[in-house]
Chains A and B, each alone.
Chain A
Amino acid sequence: MNNIILQVENLEKKFELYLPEKKVFFAFQNINFNLYQGEFFSISGPSGSGKSSLLKCLYRTYKTTKGSIFYRSSRYGIVDFTKLQEQSVLNIRSNEMSYVSQFLNVIPRISALNLVAEPLIRKNIPQGIAIERAKEMLSRLNIPTNLFDSSPLTFSGGEKQRVNIARAVIWNPSLLLLDEPTASLDEKSEKIVKKILVTMKKSGSTLIGIFHNKKLINQISDRVFLFRKEE
């Protein structure tokens, strides 16, 4: 089974909150699955069942409290991502793994164009080429040209989400984590996004996504993982 890219074993996320008073609860427990290279894997389940938390654990935005995430990195080989040195996590985040958050969380005062070009510049692609490719990507996602130089903070929900997607897919990451990336998109934009994701999959990327739209899930996923609400 050497085409496994991610092996999640007995994963648990427990929160211990101290404010306003101490409270301990699980976002999820005992999660096991394998992910194969080139697969489109969907995570589905009721609100609050821990889907976003799982994705954030896979990206290391959340600290896993139990279990392992074995990840096959092209740079480091097979590593337990839950314990990997921070420096290497950052390296993987800029060269292999990308994440589209449920909500856009961008730095103020930076134009949409520069935000989308940034991951390329970080990979040492010359500024001019990066900006050209960012323009193409934004146009492909139907962002009006007159918005390119504005900060997405003032954009509509759907526009923000498309900038977010543009930024994550522009550099062709080999593993893409998607948290409801199409939630505030109209049908037309959703179709465009779907097309982009399918193209990425064809080119060999592996995708994990949380979607609400059942039809979309059925159309694009190879497998669906069902989450139940933790009681």
Chain B
Amino acid sequence: MSTIKPLLSVRNLTKRFGPGCEDCESLTGPTQNRNQCPTCKTILGCGEVSFDLYPNEVLGIVGESGSGKTTLLRALHFDFEVTSGEMFFSYLSENNELTDLIKQIQDVNLFTTTNYVKRKVRNFLTGIIYQNPLMGINLNISAGGNIAEKMLMAEWRNLQTIRNRSKYLFQKTEMPLERIDQSPKDFSGGMQQRVQISKALASNPVLLFLDEVTTGLDLSVQAGVLDLIRNIQREFRFSMIVISHDFGVIRLLTERCMVMKNGKVIEHGLTDQILEDPVHPYTQLLVSSQL
């Protein structure tokens, strides 16, 4: 039996917004059909979420608005402290510069490590693409500068290498090279999203987080951005976690997915199984509500 080690293992990840009380656990979640504790008003962002993500794998997360998808992703990106849970990263790199970091994080619960290590994992090993491009890119610097910023954060030093990679990614994301020195301020939504993608990919991450990256773009632009992401993932073979409330996106990009409701994962499985044979009543509703 050959077993591959997961790249990312998450166990019992819980994030509550608020002080929390004894009732939180029993009064929130899908069976109670709410995510706010009536006693202390604390909100369950996500609760007891566990999963493994393998190298070169794309995992989807679907669920209604407010179900905790973004909270989960931002927790994995160390955007805030979690309430409880474990996160392990296991990665074999051929890149010598990463060897120290990788040794350092082996078998370590990343949620409880120092901010220094968290920042390193975030900058060296991951990338994130937000729904709103303005969360991921800075309008006061040029498009190329935005892409370069991610490499600088990953401690790339050679300015020529950085410049060349920015240009390479610009072309890879089908952007007109002559606009690399302009501010993304004047770019269309689709173009801004492409800059965000370049930036996220700049430091060669092994794990990419995508939060509703096509919501808000018009349909033809959506298709282009999705195809781009799909092709780039197949070429570079990094792992991705993709959030979407659109099963079309999930079908296009993922082979496995999890369904969330009121902060909890209520069903998970192979994407074709979730779509064709949803078991949980709520998943059946979600699937049948698709256009």
Contacts and interface: CB of A to CB of B under 8 A. Distances in A.
Interface in A69-108: 75-77, 86-87, 89-90, 107-108
Contact of B270 (A16, A61, A108, A109): A61
A121 B56 CA distance: 14
Contact of B284 (A17, A89, A109): A17
Contacts of A90: 255-256, 270
Interface string B1-40: 1101000000000000000000000000000000000000
Given A19-B284, A86-B269, A62 B276 contact: yes
B277 A61 contact: yes
A75 B2 CA distance: 7
Contacts of B57: 87
Contacts of B117: none
Q: How large is the interface on A (under 10, 10 to 19, 20 to 34, 35 or more residues)?
A: 20 to 34
Nearest to B57: A87
B270 A56 contact: no
B278 to A, nearest CB: 10
A60 interface: yes
Contacts of A75: 2
Contact of A18 (B234, B252, B256, B284): B284
B176 interface: no
Contacts of B270: 60-61, 86, 89-90
Given A18-B284, A86-B256, A61 B227 contact: no
Tell which of A16, A87, A89, A108 has the most Cβ of chain B within 10 Å. Answer: A87
A56 B2 contact: no
Contacts of A77: 1
Interface string B274-290: 00110101001100100
A18 B281 contact: yes
Nearest to B255: A90
A63 B272 CA distance: 11
B101 interface: no
Interface string A50-67: 000000100011110000
Contacts of B78: none
Nearest to A121: B234
A62 B1 contact: no
A56 B273 CA distance: 9
B279 A63 contact: yes
A17 B285 CA distance: 10
B54 interface: yes
Tell which of B52, B223, B273, B281 has the most Cβ of chain A within 10 Å. Answer: B273
B269 A63 contact: yes
Contacts of B4: 87
B272 A61 contact: yes
A62 B273 contact: yes
B100 to A, nearest CB: 29
Contacts of B255: 90
A92 B57 CA distance: 15
Nearest to A18: B281
A204 B284 CA distance: 40
B273 A63 contact: yes
Nearest to A89: B270
Contacts of B52: 87
Nearest to B277: A62
Contacts of A60: 270, 273
Q: Closest 5 interchain pairs by CB?
A: A18-B281, A62-B277, A61-B272, A61-B276, A18-B284
Given A18-B281, A18-B285, 6 more contacts: A16-B279, A62-B276, A63-B279, A87-B4, A90-B255, A90-B270
21 contacts: A17-B284, A18-B281, A19-B284, A19-B288, A56-B277, A60-B270, A60-B273, A61-B270, A61-B272, A62-B276, A62-B277, A63-B273, A77-B1, A87-B57, A90-B270, A107-B251, A107-B252, A108-B223, A109-B223, A109-B227, A121-B234
Interface of A: 16-19, 56, 60-63, 75-77, 86-87, 89-90, 107-109, 121
